[in-house]
Structure 1
Amino acid sequence: MFDGDNAITTLNPTTEPALGCPSGPEPPTAAAAAADPRAFVQQDRASGLSLELLVRGARCAGCLRKIETGVAALPGVSTARLNLTTGRLSVTWQDDRIDPRTIVQRVIDLGYQAQPFDPSKAQAVIDQEGRHLLICMAVAAFAAMNIMMFSVPIWSAHFNGEMEEGTRTMFHWISACIALPTAAYAGMPFFKSAWNALKKGRANMDVPISLGVLLASSLSVVETVRGGEHAYFDAVAMLLFFLLIGRYLDHALRQKARQAARDLLALQAVTASRLEPDGTAVSVAVSEIRPGDHVIILPGDRIPVDGTILEGVSEADFSLLTGETAPVALGLGQKVRAGALNLSGRLVLGASARSDDSFLAEIARLVEMGEQSKSIYVRWADKAAKLYVPVVHAAAFLTAVTWLLLGAEPRIAILNACAVLIITCPCALGLAVPAVQVVASGRLFKRGILLKSGDALERLAEIDFIAFDKTGVLTLGQLRLSGEEAIPKGALAQSALLARASRHPLARAIARAAGPGPAIENAREVPGCGVEGQIDGLRARLGRASWVGVEDAQSEETELYFAIQGQAPVRFCFEDTLRPDAIQTIQALKARGFQPIILSGDRNGAVARAALATGIETYWGELTPFEKAAYLDGLKAQGRRVLMVGDGLNDAPALAKAFVSIAPGTAADASQSAADLVFQGEQLGAVLEAIEVARAAKKRVMENFWFAALYNFIAAPIAMLGLVTPFIAAIAMSSSSIIVTLNALRLASDRRTGS
């Protein structure tokens, strides 16, 4: 059924979520019908009928397989594709007799919530979850600080005996008034997850956490009522605070994958000017463009869908799509891709695909697939924590039973069992990785490197192969005039008069080389050819060789020609400058055992020159985004762990598919979002610095793991023997977390990288 926000829910989900999902789908709630999914069905000549739903509660690969398989099994359904990062389920079918409500109900029966997909509402749901976790964490931190004001005097009184029972009890009641509402609110993410797991007959990490919080709170209230010496409200607040830090970091990491796809699709035009049969131009949403429609593309517009040029000539900037720095001439019959920037002339495009099926949309899907495949990477802390639930439950239960058999009263048995749950809390284990990540990210940030993915350091420390894009990575990505000494005297200044009147990238390079100055008035730019005007009463042209009058000009280099009427043409060549330390960085990487390669979409000649200059033996040019991604898939199949360094939109799928990825700060927004790290400035040495810090971070993480294991190996038996109270257990638990954090801080003071 649908509620007021179009959310589809049911009273009786019949199927459990997939095993392995950390917290499972949120329980659907009853609601009154207020919308009909049939209103959101779209019809297309090629794919038939389609419906897009926002699915809530799917959190792992098991959920994805379960939903896709379940929906695809419906009679008549052609495809069912779920994107975990955005929560969007796309379903297509041919038979118009299928009721869309059947599809919705199938998702509900699988135990998930669904509603017609609305990007703004989908993002609102995600943002709301993040805000809730952040508020819970803030509440727990505030409560812990305030409770400590009353706990410290009680602790002090244990040594000097100066606090009377009435004062101590009053302090306990004040702490209770702070801790109990805090536990009820800040513990809700864990309580909900544990309850959902228990309802399905299984246990997850949140079950012992919830038990520890509830038992510590209950025993503290009992002790306060009976005027006991010990209450453990401080342990409750501190426990929740530490655990919420890890939960919020995990949520923040998921946001990165969603942002990459949003940035990619943001490059697609929102509206397009469609030519109607009567010749009039109508502005429509890009989503309404269908194959066969005619679309007008003006200079400065991005091409909205894939298609073929039907009218006009121009030049386009494909650098974000292919990495090629030189503009590409467009003419009649030429095929173009969505996302390219039209530079000079008016074009009429014959659409060959919908916006959802465009080259740009396919790149976005590749990025999403890469991020989803990366999400199944199981971090070391998660692997170690798998043993936590059964071992701790068994230890706590065994402790309680043993003490009861030994004749202890139930309060003592439960107190000791609670101490086991608290002292073995996985805080140190949970902080082993995040604490190092925080310190390492701070160290990298000081060097202009932004760490965007929490487990990127783990993966970066394990790489054994490095692939570089050329344009904007090994080079600065900005064409400059080369061989100025060979240009005839005065030709540069004269050509700049025309160049300043054009927006063409090569013309801008000439203008930069010549410096500030005037431009010719009434200069005329000819789409696909160049710019012309009058200099001292003579016709002057700056542009393509054939247009200027040069016959049979063939070169692997990027070039323009300048000619004044009656004079010989002058040739201008351009090159993309290497980063200042590119050669030094490549040599340093080779010294560490790496053999870098180049995967570029630029022309083979330009790639070969960059490879020769930097000393890279293996290189590939003129690659499409899909070929780059396929190459990385091949390396992955060989067992290689690849670092991809790229900046263009054409690199985004490869960045997402790579074992780990880095992008410069000048990269396209989508590439920065898909990358795990982003470095600022012109120094390529940031890549080497990141690798060294990652290796040092791995060493600190392993030290933390060993300490956490040793701590639990010693602390658990002591608690089972009844030698510690929950109060001491809370102190021990907090101390272990502090030690782990202090060890992580050593990373910030390491003088020698990799120490």
Structure 2
Amino acid sequence: IALPTLAYSGQVFFSSAWQALRHGRTNMDVPISLGVILAFALSVFETLTERHHAYFDASVTLLFFLLIGRTLDHMMRERARTAVRGLARLAARGANVLRPDGTREYMPVGEIAVGDRVVLVAGDRVPVDGVVEQGSSDVDVAMVSGEAMPQLASVGTPLRAGTLNLTGPLEMRATAVAANSFLAEMVRLMEAAEGGRARYRRIADRAAQLYSPVVHLTALLTFIGWVLLSGDWHRSISVAITVLIITCPCALGLAVPIVQVVAARRLFERSILTKDGTGLERIATIDTVVLDKTGTVTVGRPILLNALDIARPAMAIAAALAASSRHPLSVALVEAADQPDAVVLDSVAERAGLGVEGWIGQDLYRLGRADWALNEPGAARGTVLSQNGEMLAAFRFEDQLRADVKTTVASLQADGLKVMLVSGDEAAVVARVAAEIGVDDAFGDVLPAGKLELIASLRAKGHSVLMVGDGLNDAPALAGADVSMAPSGAADVGRNAADFVFLKDSLSAVSHTRSVAIDAGRLIRQNLGFSVIYNGIAVPIAILGYATPLVAAAAMSLSSVIVVGNALRLRAPHPSRTTQAAPALGAAP
């Protein structure tokens, strides 16, 4: 029974040990494999020579506890997902290219050349970088700037590959091939950033590099010493095997993954998902926090600030017009209206990049850009409602801060962390939000590559950086930081690139995660310390011959149980007794 059990269950350790030895190095699986194989071989010898002792149960028990640690470690590593494939899926497969004779030909994105005229309809993704030559439409540029608000694209507007055409037809001239486009650059940035993070050395791996040679040397010296002193080869081999088993790194192998699993559970109780266990080690050592603005510091959803100042008839007409549009400002206006279907329009139509217009009898009502809705240019700015070109109401929208954002920033700063705000939004808007939440360092008009460069420069100066972001444009920075977090509403690519995902609107998840990580780090050090003390006591006993392989297996099992029990002492941080409502930013854009 023991032979097939060891052959099947131990193959992961045997294979790893063999690969390490083939390359002239050692790892934690080498002493494990030696201990299991030698204990089994000695047991076979004892059985064939009809001696009194056999240690098949010790070998199987040894693998049982080691597999527990390996399984927990595998569970944590599997939660880390690459975001590169998700980002690449945003690329268009192809597009309709307008030929000189006026015909359209569908071409794969890799065959579109510089100078080709590309036709885009509503819902198409921009296949390559280009410039609009004809048409007008709203374009979702979240992956470029991180802003949820669509931007108007008209003649002369540059378009980036991967952005989404929302409302109207466009004709653009390609200015770059697919391999040199903005989206391709984003993918390359992600690959480089993730490759840099993969070189992070885990605590247990570093300990194993020192631990394994010491175990091998101790067992070898024990064997040689007993041979010289007693001349009994059988006894010498038995003592050496006992040393290998009693020093087998079960407790060391469990020290890190069991704490990480318990910590992940504690964070899950606070609606925070842990995707990579090593992120717990990294977030405990950060000294700088970089926050994205839209969708991170703010919820990324506009709200209507002056609903109470607008006359009810005007509000009802505006809500009726807005109900026919999916523009974020239209959605916010409908949500703010008491009765969005109180007015029935005779007809309604959405004008790409401009707004919505509708008729009630002989009157034309327009809701949208002031320079389009009003007869008198420059009479107002922003979003307005007009009747036959005369303004009825002006609407002020603003994004909403996440719950507890000011408290979280203050808490992080009180702990000695430097907090920075970075965004693709206008510098003036970013500076205003930074002042609102108490952040001194703010950077606006920053593209994805710029965010990654900022983080790289901070790391080059010796800082350990936490990046908190949500957009497609944040993905390279999330992957390039020492550790990263994203809200659950983030783009798929952003969530995949992050080490942690928080499910609630409150930004206090950042403080909670760091608190749990610091406690987890303390327990990991305690477990590693216990492993050292255990070996300091058990190894001399084994070397002196006062323990058998079976006793060694029992001692090893007990040490593993103690490590697991210590990990279960981890507690989640206590939630705040008071919860403040998320305030809206005070100033209008």
TM norm structure 2: 0.91
| Residue 369 of structure 2 corresponds to residue 530 of structure 1 | no
SS of the aligned residue for 1:623 comes to: coil
Deviant stretches of 4+, over 6 Å: 749-753
The CA deviation at 1:181 is 1.0
The CA deviation at 1:512 is 1.9
Aligned partner of 2:154 in structure 1 is: 331
Aligned partner of 1:687 in structure 2 is: 510
The CA deviation at 1:430 is 1.7
Aligned partner of 1:542 in structure 2 is: 367
Give the distance between the partners of 1:202 and 1:679, measured in 2 at CA. 40
Selected match of 1:501 from 297, 313, 324:
324
Give the distance between the partners of 1:367 and 1:687, measured in 2 at CA. 23
SS of the aligned residue for 1:746 comes to: coil
Task: Check whether the contact 1:324–1:603 (CA below 8 A) recurs between aligned residues.
Answer: no
Distance 1:751 1:471, change over 3 A: closer
Aligned partner of 2:15 in structure 1 is: 192
Give the distance between the partners of 1:592 and 1:447, measured in 2 at CA. 21
The CA deviation at 1:377 is 1.7
| Residue 294 of structure 2 corresponds to residue 471 of structure 1 | yes
- The letter for the 2-side match of 1:747 is L
Aligned partner of 1:174 in structure 2 is: none
SS of the aligned residue for 1:273 comes to: strand
Task: Check whether the contact 2:346–2:360 (CA below 8 A) recurs between aligned residues.
Answer: no
Aligned partner of 1:234 in structure 2 is: 57
The CA deviation at 1:379 is 2.0
SS of the aligned residue for 1:747 comes to: coil
Map Cα deviations across residues 295-333 of structure 1 (whole Å, 9 max, x no partner): 322112222222222221111121233122322110122
Distance 1:204 1:747, change over 3 A: closer
Task: Check whether the contact 2:144–2:473 (CA below 8 A) recurs between aligned residues.
Answer: yes
Distance 1:267 1:425, change over 3 A: same
Distance 1:222 1:468, change over 3 A: same
Aligned partner of 1:451 in structure 2 is: 274
SS of the aligned residue for 2:255 comes to: helix
Selected match of 1:304 from 116, 127, 147:
127
Give the distance between the partners of 1:521 and 1:368, measured in 2 at CA. 54
Aligned partner of 2:307 in structure 1 is: 484
Give the distance between the partners of 2:286 and 2:489, measured in 1 at CA. 24
Selected match of 1:737 from 560, 564, 569:
560
Give the distance between the partners of 1:495 and 1:674, measured in 2 at CA. 40
Distance 1:752 1:501, change over 3 A: closer
Selected match of 1:363 from 186, 191, 199:
186
| Residue 443 of structure 2 corresponds to residue 620 of structure 1 | yes
Aligned pairs for 1:585-624 (under 5 A) are 585-624=408-447
Aligned pairs for 1:9-24 (under 5 A) are none
Give the distance between the partners of 2:4 and 2:450, measured in 1 at CA. 56
Aligned pairs for 1:100-119 (under 5 A) are none
Give the distance between the partners of 2:141 and 2:100, measured in 1 at CA. 30
- The letter for the 2-side match of 1:551 is P
Task: Check whether the contact 2:322–2:330 (CA below 8 A) recurs between aligned residues.
Answer: yes
Task: Check whether the contact 1:599–1:623 (CA below 8 A) recurs between aligned residues.
Answer: yes
Give the distance between the partners of 2:112 and 2:544, measured in 1 at CA. 73
Distance 1:636 1:203, change over 3 A: closer
| Residue 377 of structure 2 corresponds to residue 551 of structure 1 | yes
Distance 1:405 1:338, change over 3 A: same
The CA deviation at 1:280 is 3.3
| Residue 495 of structure 2 corresponds to residue 677 of structure 1 | no
SS of the aligned residue for 1:596 comes to: strand
Give the distance between the partners of 2:137 and 2:406, measured in 1 at CA. 37
Equivalences, count: 573
The CA deviation at 1:238 is 3.4
| Residue 487 of structure 2 corresponds to residue 659 of structure 1 | no
Give the distance between the partners of 1:326 and 1:553, measured in 2 at CA. 23
Task: Check whether the contact 2:42–2:238 (CA below 8 A) recurs between aligned residues.
Answer: yes
Give the distance between the partners of 1:642 and 1:746, measured in 2 at CA. 28
- The letter for the 1-side match of 2:506 is Q
Task: Check whether the contact 1:548–1:569 (CA below 8 A) recurs between aligned residues.
Answer: no
Distance 1:537 1:446, change over 3 A: same
| Residue 198 of structure 2 corresponds to residue 375 of structure 1 | yes
Moved more, 307-316 or 565-574: 565-574
- The letter for the 1-side match of 2:377 is E
Selected match of 2:66 from 235, 238, 243:
243
Give the distance between the partners of 2:315 and 2:275, measured in 1 at CA. 45
- The letter for the 1-side match of 2:243 is V
- The letter for the 1-side match of 2:277 is G
Distance 1:510 1:730, change over 3 A: same
TM norm structure 1: 0.72
Aligned partner of 2:583 in structure 1 is: none
Give the distance between the partners of 1:584 and 1:660, measured in 2 at CA. 21
Give the distance between the partners of 2:467 and 2:102, measured in 1 at CA. 48
SS of the aligned residue for 2:185 comes to: helix
Aligned partner of 1:55 in structure 2 is: none
- The letter for the 2-side match of 1:620 is F
Give the distance between the partners of 2:247 and 2:196, measured in 1 at CA. 32
Task: Check whether the contact 2:26–2:209 (CA below 8 A) recurs between aligned residues.
Answer: no
Map Cα deviations across residues 168-194 of structure 1 (whole Å, 9 max, x no partner): xxxxxxxxx1x2112212222332333
Higher relative contact order (CA 8 A, sep 6+): 2
Map Cα deviations across residues 176-215 of structure 1 (whole Å, 9 max, x no partner): x1x2112212222332333334344444433222211211
- Computed over aligned residues only, the root mean square deviation of the Cα atoms, in angstroms, reads 2.3
Distance 1:743 1:503, change over 3 A: same
Distance 1:531 1:239, change over 3 A: same
Task: Check whether the contact 2:28–2:249 (CA below 8 A) recurs between aligned residues.
Answer: no
Task: Check whether the contact 1:499–1:519 (CA below 8 A) recurs between aligned residues.
Answer: no
- The letter for the 2-side match of 1:719 is A
The CA deviation at 1:566 is 5.6
The CA deviation at 1:563 is 0.6
- The letter for the 1-side match of 2:330 is A
Distance 1:750 1:543, change over 3 A: closer
Give the distance between the partners of 2:397 and 2:101, measured in 1 at CA. 45
The unaligned stretches of length 5 or more in structure 1 are 1-176
- The letter for the 1-side match of 2:369 is R
The CA deviation at 1:229 is 4.2
| Residue 397 of structure 2 corresponds to residue 574 of structure 1 | yes
SS of the aligned residue for 2:31 comes to: helix
Distance 1:190 1:684, change over 3 A: same
Aligned partner of 1:345 in structure 2 is: 168
Distance 1:245 1:262, change over 3 A: farther
Task: Check whether the contact 1:436–1:744 (CA below 8 A) recurs between aligned residues.
Answer: yes
Task: Check whether the contact 2:274–2:501 (CA below 8 A) recurs between aligned residues.
Answer: yes
Give the distance between the partners of 2:29 and 2:290, measured in 1 at CA. 40
Aligned partner of 2:582 in structure 1 is: none
Map Cα deviations across residues 251-281 of structure 1 (whole Å, 9 max, x no partner): 5666566531122122223343333444333
- The letter for the 1-side match of 2:350 is E
Aligned partner of 1:101 in structure 2 is: none
Task: Check whether the contact 1:469–1:646 (CA below 8 A) recurs between aligned residues.
Answer: yes
Task: Check whether the contact 2:370–2:380 (CA below 8 A) recurs between aligned residues.
Answer: no
Aligned partner of 2:587 in structure 1 is: none
Task: Check whether the contact 1:603–1:621 (CA below 8 A) recurs between aligned residues.
Answer: yes
Map Cα deviations across residues 652-706 of structure 1 (whole Å, 9 max, x no partner): 1111111211111111111111111110111111111111111111111111111
Task: Check whether the contact 2:27–2:208 (CA below 8 A) recurs between aligned residues.
Answer: no
Give the distance between the partners of 1:300 and 1:280, measured in 2 at CA. 21
